[in-house]
């Protein structure tokens, strides 16, 4: 029986320049997109741990890393933005989208949920 699992551990944070935003889909097509400032990007390492003791295990070879947009949870800390079920994308300064793109994304997300 396997007694290991993995999790993503924060190892660094890089702040976003002004103008970057997180876009969250609305509940229904036709509602406005929810935009929030993007605080920056988390650099995370994939860590293996023992599920019996919850102790991290030494890495074997190269450690897998990822860079992911961060969101702020009020009163808590930074989390990967894609942990939020309505997260759609990060937008750079001046980047835009059409109402039709938002409508299609909402419809697809709602269909995936049913």
pLDDT at res. 26: 87
Selection from 92, 114, 7 nearest residue 57 by Cα: 7
| Total number of domains in the chain | 1
pLDDT tens-digit profile, the chain (114 residues): 789 889 999 999 999 999 999 999 988 878 888 999 999 999 999 998 889 998 988 888 788 999 999 998 888 789 999 998 899 999 999 998 888 888 898 888 888 887
User: What residues have CB less than 8 Å from 34, skipping those under 6 apart?
Assistant: 23, 24, 25, 26, 86
The pTM assigned to this predicted structure is: 0.80
Residues 6+ apart with CB under 8 A from 21: 35, 36, 37, 38, 90, 91
> Closest by alpha carbon to 9, among 74, 78, 62?
78
Phi, psi of 69 (to 5 degrees): -60, 140
pLDDT at 113: 83
Domain that holds residue 91: 4-113
Measured from the Cβ of residue 81, the count of other Cβ atoms closer than 10 Å reads 23
Question: What is the arrangement of strands in the sheet containing 78-80, beginning at the earlier edge strand?
Answer: 4-15, 40-50, 65-72, 78-80
pLDDT at 73: 83
């Amino acid at each position: 029986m396997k007694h290991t699992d993995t999790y993503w551990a924060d190892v660094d944070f890089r702040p976003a320049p002004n103008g970057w935003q997180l876009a969250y889909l609305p509940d229904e097509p036709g509602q406005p997109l929810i935009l929030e400032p993007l605080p920056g990007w988390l650099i995370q390492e994939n860590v293996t741990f023992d599920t019996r003791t919850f102790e991290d295990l030494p890495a074997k070879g190269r450690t897998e890393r990822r860079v992911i947009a961060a969101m702020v949870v009020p009163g808590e800390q930074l989390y990967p933005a894609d942990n939020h079920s309505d997260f759609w994308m990060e937008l750079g300064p001046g980047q835009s989208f059409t109402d039709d793109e938002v409508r299609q994304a909402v419809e697809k997300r709602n269909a995936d949920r049913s």
